[in-house]
Amino acid sequence: MSQGPQAVVDLSSLKANAAILLGSLSVGCRPIWVIKDDAYGLGACRVASALGKGRDSWYAVAYIEEAVALRKHGVEGHILVLQPPAREDASIYWEEDLAATVWGLEDLETLMSGSEKSPDRRLALHVEVDTGMNRGGVAREGLEPLVEEITRRRIFHLDGLYSHLADGRDKAFCSLQRERFHDCVSCLRKRGWVPERLHLGSSAAVLLGEAYHYTMVRPGLALYGAWPFDVPHAPSLRPVLSLVSRLLKVRSVGPGESVGYERAFRTDRDMRLAVVSIGYAHGLSRTYSEQGHALVRGRRVPCLGLTCMDMLLLDVSRVEGAMAEDEVVLLGRQGEDEITIREVSAWMGCSPYEVLCRFGGLCVKRFAES
């Protein structure tokens, strides 16, 4: 084991979740696996390899640098870049055969500036239309002029139309967004413009049912083992990320002592305290220890004091034989107990998305097959 904490990525669980998601989609609907931001910190190249790097696969990334890294890793499938293009990167879309997201006419001009080196290639475009997120995408009134310009220029291919759900838990607003998206699709079809790929939602769309599936969905969080919200009878997913470290030292402390920075915890009895090699430099919030727990020798133990930059204190008074070098699990299973991503996100006051990105992005990663 590494001296510091490790983010353990279970690729078998990842593949099991992919199979569950595939089985949850309507007939004819395919996934675009969202592996943006280094697969939420879990390692995009390894995740893509586990899912299959073939030409029929679809992946979505946020930045063009991520797409280039996947191509260098041997990923031959379709890669959709979710953010609009920058002029200095325009030629890369053509050279690497990437699908570009466009929000407006200015994006077409940007992409055209990079087409000179690839005169015989048509570039696949996915138009994002805003249906209520009010973040990115072309406004409804700008959709037809944009698509008309795409179809007028022979170097472009209108491959997809998509939007994004603002809150999968708000069924009424999801329905409104779906109606707006359906109106956009119908409008384009009346003009004879039929994008082959239509996608409205991410993991939430899987749960909302076939009406939200269209021809593609973009699973992200669910692929990594958690649904974005609780739904009765949702398929059970397997956690992909575990966070493990080790005990550095166990010491006995009497009553009336202060513990850690700002003397934030005071002992009221004889206690055995353990120091763990992990801290806010690895993604924990500084106040994590106010509610957080860890697993030591299969027992759930509370955190104490304030989280330090690279150390955390635990109360191991009731863990018989706890000693330096013992494994500590802060996310995942040990023995018969498990600390879930929902628990950790509640203790840290953040979303499961943030938990994955923080731990996966800041800790040394170790890949495993369970």
- Please count the other Cβ atoms lying within 10 Å of the Cβ belonging to residue 55: 9
Q: Rounded to an integer, what is the distance from CA 240 to the centroid of its chain?
A: 11
The CA distance from 136 to 103, in Å, is: 7
Tell me the HSE value of 272 on the side-chain side, using a 13 A CA sphere.
14
Cβ 125 vs Cβ 106: under 8 Å: no
How much is the CA Rg of the chain, to the nearest whole Å?
24
Q: How far apart are CA 225 and CA 229, in angstroms?
A: 12
Nearest partner of 364 among 243, 226, 247, judged by Cα: 243
CA-CA distance, 97 to 79, in Å (whole number)? 8
Residue 246, classed as helix, strand or coil, is strand
- Catalytic site residues? 36, 261
Beta pairing class for 327-334 and 241-253 = antiparallel
